Structure 1
């Protein structure tokens, strides 16, 4: 791979479920080190697009290239082991196991293929799990069972599990859904730290201040297809986006937000 190539290139990626086209010829490139934000109404195909790119759901058509390699037909395990990690909208974890055990499993299976049965953790796996918990601020809860965790900590646990796989690109699916303002700010600071460390991030989010504050570029999806692509400040200026997604009230708030930020930087 040369520096001129994007880290991830999706070309005409499509996913059909019978007559329903959930993802419709999505062509997206992601540059190394950027934060790409994806928004859109419920049912726009955002999560299905993530599922296809990360190998959970096979593409019906199109091509996906990661780090110069065609990964279109890879399953989720191999995609993760190649450096593509993700989180989910729902809090996916083993509730009866401890926080540390969950992240150790992610580190063990997410870094390289495992062909033999049994789970024997080496020092590298254990260290990766501990480092990931330190990174998200869950070290003091390592011995708790996941069932005891509040919503924020469950979301942080998913991020820790993803980071324990040593990813080169991280897909975050609604990482602040259901959180209060202070919790959203906490996750925002965490994502900024991950990006500052060189990690490439693609995120889906309905909380617009989170999406627009973090993203260097934004894509808005509608009916499985790309409706808009551009810088965050241009989202509220697009009439189609306002009509199908934002609404006039949100548009006005976003315009005020970017106006105030521009004045503060002047």
Structure 2
């Protein structure tokens, strides 16, 4: 992950609730510098009034797009056209497409074909084609859950438990096969490489989906895996290795 990469953040205002904006921008800052932030919608509509209150506070530029034809999403078209203009300007290294709309699937594919890294951010209702078209996809709900956990321990316990319960046999098998893809002759795989390959295989894979902040405690919670910290020679730094035990 290159934290210095310049990112264009394009938000589908018709599709994303405004109450996520703080957590959204904090998450994006992890992956790079959001040098361009735009939100698209018909600002004459009352439904976007809540967004207006947070735009100035977060330096997000509103782009007006009237709905010229009933039943057609003009906002999507404006956002796609802008994305291509930004791509050809060569001023950014990557894009954050903030929407739960599958209409942006082809855009994500096109941007990646051009060598751009694409982060998708949306709600859990987002269709899978858009999710897998991105390099990484983050669910908005887990960002809001983190904020709630910080302010209420009781909520934290319930949220944590509910997410742990979502670790399915399919998730365990995904981790198991990924370790097998990378293991050495003794069955050990470097956890950093495991995490990278998991992301490539399933862009929406995120330990936070299951109530864990990092991959290590997630894997450590599953009895089928063994974790071994290894200290580097002449250093206090430790590398984490993992293997399948059953």
More helix, by proportion: 2
Q: TM-score, normalised by structure 1?
A: 0.34
- Higher relative contact order, chain-length normalized (CA < 8 Å, sep 6+): 1
**Bigger Rg, which one:** 2
Q: TM-score, normalised by structure 2?
A: 0.36
